[in-house]
A and B are shown apart, each in its own frame.
Chain A
Amino acid sequence: MSSSETAVIGRSAVPRARSTDPGRARGHEREAGKTARRLGLRFLALGYLLALLGAPVAMIFYRTFEHGLAPVWNAVTQPNAMHAFWLSVELVAIVVPLNTIFGIGIALLIERGRFRGKWLLGLILDLPFAISPVVVGLSLVLVYGRAGWFGDWLSAHGIQVIFSIPGMVLATAFVSLPFVARETVPVLHELGTDAEQAAATLGANAWQTFRKVTLPAIRWGVVYGVVLTTARALGEFGAVSIVSGRLEGQTQTLPLYVQDRFENFDTTGAYAAAVVLALLAFATLLGMNLLAKRTRRDEVV
Chain B
Amino acid sequence: MSPEPASQALAPSAIGGQGRRGLSFGRRARDRPGRGGPDGIGDGRLRGRAGTALGAGLLGVYLSVLVLLPIAALLDSATKGGTSAFWHAVSSPEAVAALKLTLIVSAIVVAINAVFGTLIAWVLVRDEFPGKSVVNALIDLPFALPTVVAGVVLLALYGKGGPTGIDITFTRAAVGLALLFVTLPFVVRSVQPVLLELDGSMEEAASSLGAGGLTVFRRIVLPNLTPAILSGAALSFARALGEFGSVVLISGNLPFKTEVGSVYIFNQVENDNVSAAASVSVVLLVFALIVLGGMTWLSRRGSRHVL
**A-to-B contact residues, CB < 8 Å:** 11-14, 34, 37-38, 41-42, 44-46, 48-49, 52-57, 59-60, 63, 98, 102, 105-106, 108-114, 118-119, 121-127, 129-143, 147-149, 170, 173-174, 177-178, 182-183, 185-186, 189-194, 196-197, 200, 205-207, 224, 228, 231, 234-238, 241-242, 254-256, 258-259, 262, 270-271, 274, 277-278, 281-282, 284-286, 288-289, 292-293, 295-296, 299
Known contacts A173-B66, A174-B67; A123/B156 CB under 8 A: no
Interface size on B, residues (CB 8 A): 115
**CB of B86 closer than 8 Å to a CB of A:** no
In the complex, the answer to whether B156 meets A193 with C-beta atoms within 8 Å is no
The answer to whether B156 and A186 touch across the interface, beta carbons within 8 angstroms, is: no
- Checking A111, A147, A174, A182 against B274 with a beta-carbon cut-off of 8 angstroms, the contacting residue is A147
Report whether B66 and A135 are in contact in the complex, using a CB–CB cutoff of 8 Å.
no
* 26 interchain pairs, CB-CB under 8 A: A13-B200, A14-B213, A44-B119, A45-B120, A45-B122, A52-B180, A53-B181, A55-B157, A60-B152, A111-B41, A122-B25, A122-B27, A129-B238, A132-B265, A134-B266, A142-B76, A142-B274, A173-B66, A189-B32, A193-B35, A224-B12, A258-B148, A288-B18, A289-B133, A289-B136, A296-B12
Instruction: Assess whether A274 is in contact with B32, with CB atoms less than 8 Å apart.
Output: no
Is the CB–CB distance between B145 and A277 below 8 Å?
yes
Select from chain B the residue with minimum beta-carbon distance to A145. Answer: B274
Known: A53-B142, A60-B153. A113 touches B46 (CB 8 A): yes
The answer to whether B281 and A102 touch across the interface, beta carbons within 8 angstroms, is no
Query: What mask results when residues 49 to 87 of chain B are scored 1 for a CB within 8 Å of chain A, else 0?
Result: 001100110110011011111110110110000000000
Question: With an 8 A cutoff between CB atoms, is B305 at the interface?
Answer: no
A56 & B156 in contact (Cβ 8 Å cutoff): yes
How many pairs of A and B residues are in contact by the CB < 8 Å rule? 334
Chain B's nearest CB lies how many Å from the CB of A114?
Answer: 4
Contact call A186/B51, Cβ cutoff below 8 A = no
- Name the distance in Å between B164's Cβ and chain A's nearest Cβ: 8
9 nearest CB pairs, A to B: A192-B35, A132-B242, A235-B146, A206-B48, A139-B70, A237-B245, A238-B244, A122-B25, A142-B73
Interface residues of B (CB under 8 A from A): 10-14, 16-18, 21, 23-27, 29, 32, 34-37, 39, 41-48, 51-52, 55-56, 58-59, 62-63, 65-71, 73-74, 76-77, 116, 119-120, 122-124, 126-127, 129, 133, 135-149, 152-154, 156-158, 162-163, 177, 180-181, 184, 198, 200, 203-204, 213, 235, 238-239, 241-245, 248-249, 261-263, 265-266, 269, 274, 277-278, 281, 284-285, 288-289, 292
